[in-house]
Amino acid sequence: MSSRSRGSTNALDGKGDARPFLSSLPKTRLVELLADHAMFCDRLLDTLQLEAVCTPTAPDASGFRSMIDRVIRPHTFVSYRESFDFSGRIDDLVDRLGTLLKDGRDGDVIALTEHLLRGCEHVLGNMDDSAGTMQPVMERAAALHLEACRSARADPIELALRLFTWEMTTEWDTFFHAVLTYADVLGDVGIAEYRRLAEDVWREISPLAPGDRCEFDSRRFRTAAVMEDLARLTGDVDELVRVLGRDLSSSYRFHQIAAELRESGRLDDAITWAERGLCAFSDNRDDRLVRLTIELHHASGHQEQAMDLAWATYEPNPNQETYRQLQAVVPSKQWPDFRARAIAHLRSILRPVSGSDAGHPSEHHRADGSSLVAILLAEECPEDAWQAARDYGCSETLWTQLARLREDQHPLDAAAVYEYLIEQRIGCKDKRGYRGATELLVRVEALMSRGGQPESFRKLLEATIDKHRRKRNLMKLITASFGEIE
C-alpha cells in the first residue's frame, strides 16, 4: 500500500503544495529527483542554470548571456502552441534580470536586456505569435532596461547613439519614441546628441508636397517620428509644424497640423492650415479634416463659414453623421428651417418603394431610406420614421427597431415585420438562426392574438412548417414551443 493511501504525514497534501513533502526528503534524493527531471524539462533546466549564473558571487554576465542565447534562439519555427511556453521561458529570464538589478548589477542588466531584446526581435520573424505572448514580455524587458539606465546613470551620449540606431534600424517598435521615454536619463546632453543624429538623417529626406506620391518608407517614417518627439520635448509648436509640414502628401497631414495648432490655442493658424488642406485636396478630402475645419470655424465664431461647409458636406452625402454635424453648428433659432431643408433634400434623392414591396422590409429596397429612418428615430419621431421606412425601405436592423417600438400600439404592424424576419433567420441555416426564428414566431403569436388575428398566425405557422419540414433542428425548436402540428 502506498504512503498516500496510508495517510502518511509525508504524502502530498492534495492542495498542490509539495513543499512539506520535499522538506522531508534527504538532500541526496532531492538532487536525484531534480537532475532526472531536468533532463526532460527545459523549463526546469533553465531555472537551475539561472540559479547558477545569478548567484551574488558570479564573476560576470557571460553565463547569463549564454542562457539567453540558448533559450531565445530556437533552431526551428516556433508554432502557435509552442509560443506560450517559449514566451514563458523568456519571461523567466526577465524575472532573473530584475533580481540582478536589485543586487546592484545595473550595468550588467543594461547589456543583458539589450541582448535579450535583440534576440526577441530576431525570433519574432520565425514564430507564430498571433496570441501576442511576446509583447508583454518585451515590454517588461524594456521597462527593466529603462530602470537600469536610471540606476546606472548611463553615459548619455553612448545611450543616445544606441537608442537612436536601434530605433532607426529595427523592424519592430522596441524603442519607438525612445527620446521621450528616456528623456530624464539622456538629459540635455543626450537629447542634444539624439537631435544631432536625427537631423543628419532628416536633412537627406526630401519634403513632399500635395499630389506627390508617397509610398511607405521606413527611414522617412522613423526619422519623422524622432523629429516630432524632439519638437514635443521642446514644446515649440512652430517647430512641430515645420516637422509635420515636410510631408504634405495627404489631406490627413493638414489635419494633423491643424489639430496641433488648435490644441495650442492658435485657432486662426489652425483654420489657415485646414483651409489649405481643403483647397489642396478639393477632389479627395479627408473626412476628419472636413470635420475639424467645421469645428474650428464654429469655435472661432465664423458661423456662416461653419454652416456653409457643413451643408456642403451634407448635401452630396446626407447621412446621420453629416446631419448631426450640420445640426451642431446651426443656431437653434435657425435649426427648424435647416432641418426641414435637410430632410427634404434627403427625401428628394430617395427612390420610393412601390407595389408589393410597400410597407415591408423587402430585400430589394431594404437599405434605401436607412439614413432618413435613423435620423428620425434619433430625433424620437417614431411615427415619421415608420412612414419613412414604408416609403423608402431601410436596413433589417432598423426594421427590427421600428417593430419593437410599434408592438404596444400597433401589434399587427410589428408582426408583419417579424414575419419577414423569420424567413431571414431561417435562411441562415444554423442553430442560432433557427433559434431566432422560433423566438420571433412566439412573439408574432402574441402580437397577432392581441391584434385579433390568431388564425392568421396559425396559417403562418403551418406554412412555415410545410416549407421547412426537412430542417430537423428547426422543427424540434418549433415543436418544443408550439407542440405537434399536423
Segment 388-404, tens digit of pLDDT = 999 999 998 999 999 99
User: CA-to-CA distance for 194 and 162, rounded, in angstroms?
Assistant: 10
CA 482 to chain centre: 44
Q: What is the mean pLDDT of residues 403-419?
A: 94
User: CA-to-CA distance for 321 and 304, rounded, in angstroms?
Assistant: 20
User: CA-to-CA distance for 458 and 183, rounded, in angstroms?
Assistant: 75
- What is the DSSP annotation of 353-414? P-GGGTTS--TTTTTTTHHHHHHHHHTT-HHHHHHHHHHH---HHHHHHHHHHHTTT-HHHH
Pick the residue with more confidence: 11 or 184? Answer: 184
Give the N- to C-terminal CA distance of the chain in Å, as an integer. 66
The DSSP symbol for 173 reads -
Q: Is 247 helix (H, G, I), strand (E, B) or coil?
A: strand
Q: Which residues of 92-120 are buried (b: 16+ CB within 10 A; e: fewer)?
A: bbbebbbebbeeebbebbbebbbbbbebb
User: CA-to-CA distance for 93 and 336, rounded, in angstroms?
Assistant: 67
Assess whether pLDDT exceeds 80 at residue 17. Answer: no
Q: What is the mean pLDDT of residues 302-322?
A: 95
Q: What percent of the chain has pLDDT over 70?
A: 87
CB-CB contact of 135 with 124 (8 Å): no
CA 372 to chain centre: 30
User: CA-to-CA distance for 51 and 244, rounded, in angstroms?
Assistant: 51
Model confidence at 60, pLDDT cuts 50, 70, 90, reads low
Q: Which residues of 19-33 are buried (b: 16+ CB within 10 A; e: fewer)?
A: eeeeeeeeeeeeeee
Assess whether pLDDT exceeds 90 at residue 10. Answer: no
Q: Is 155 helix (H, G, I), strand (E, B) or coil?
A: coil
Q: Report CA-CA distances (Å) from 96 to 90, 147, 279.
A: 10, 14, 58
CB-CB contact of 41 with 88 (8 Å): no
User: CA-to-CA distance for 147 and 156, rounded, in angstroms?
Assistant: 14
What pLDDT, on a 0 to 100 scale, did the predictor assign at position 359?
52
User: CA-to-CA distance for 479 and 464, rounded, in angstroms?
Assistant: 12
CB-CB contact of 20 with 13 (8 Å): yes
Q: What percent of the chain has pLDDT over 90?
A: 71
CB-CB contact of 405 with 382 (8 Å): yes
User: CA-to-CA distance for 190 and 423, rounded, in angstroms?
Assistant: 69
Q: What is the mean pLDDT of residues 71-79?
A: 86
With the CA atoms of 197, 201, 203 and 204 taken in that order, what torsion angle do they form, in degrees rounded to the nearest 10?
Answer: 160
Q: What is the mean pLDDT of residues 289-313?
A: 96
197 burial type by CB count under 10 A (0-12 exposed, 13-18 middle, 19+ buried): buried
Q: Is 129 helix (H, G, I), strand (E, B) or coil?
A: coil
The total number of residues shown for the chain amounts to: 486
Assess whether pLDDT exceeds 50 at residue 364. Answer: no
pTM attached to this predicted model: 0.76
Q: What is the mean pLDDT of residues 12-19?
A: 62
Q: Is 7 helix (H, G, I), strand (E, B) or coil?
A: coil
Per-residue pLDDT of 188-241, as tens digits, reads 999 999 999 999 999 999 999 998 887 788 999 999 999 999 999 999 999 999
- Owner of C-alpha cell 425548436: 477
Assess whether pLDDT exceeds 70 at residue 485. Answer: no
300 Cβ partners below 8 Å, 6+ apart? 267, 268, 271
User: CA-to-CA distance for 373 and 406, rounded, in angstroms?
Assistant: 14
User: CA-to-CA distance for 174 and 106, rounded, in angstroms?
Assistant: 20
User: CA-to-CA distance for 425 and 234, rounded, in angstroms?
Assistant: 59
CB-CB contact of 419 with 453 (8 Å): no
**Residue 240, amino acid:** L
Assess whether pLDDT exceeds 80 at residue 8. Answer: no
CA 333 to chain centre: 40
User: CA-to-CA distance for 473 and 431, rounded, in angstroms?
Assistant: 7
Domain residues of the chain, as ranges? 27-154, 407-486
Assess whether pLDDT exceeds 50 at residue 367. Answer: no
The percent helix, strand, coil of the chain (3-state, each to 5) is 70, 0, 30
Strands (E), 200-244: none
Q: Report CA-CA distances (Å) from 455 to 417, 421, 449, 451.
A: 18, 20, 8, 11
Pick the residue with more confidence: 318 or 9? Answer: 318
Closest CA to 427 of 369, 384, 381, 467: 467
151 Cβ partners below 8 Å, 6+ apart? 101, 106
The DSSP symbol for 78 reads B
What phi and psi, each to the nearest 5 degrees, are found at residue 215? -90, 155
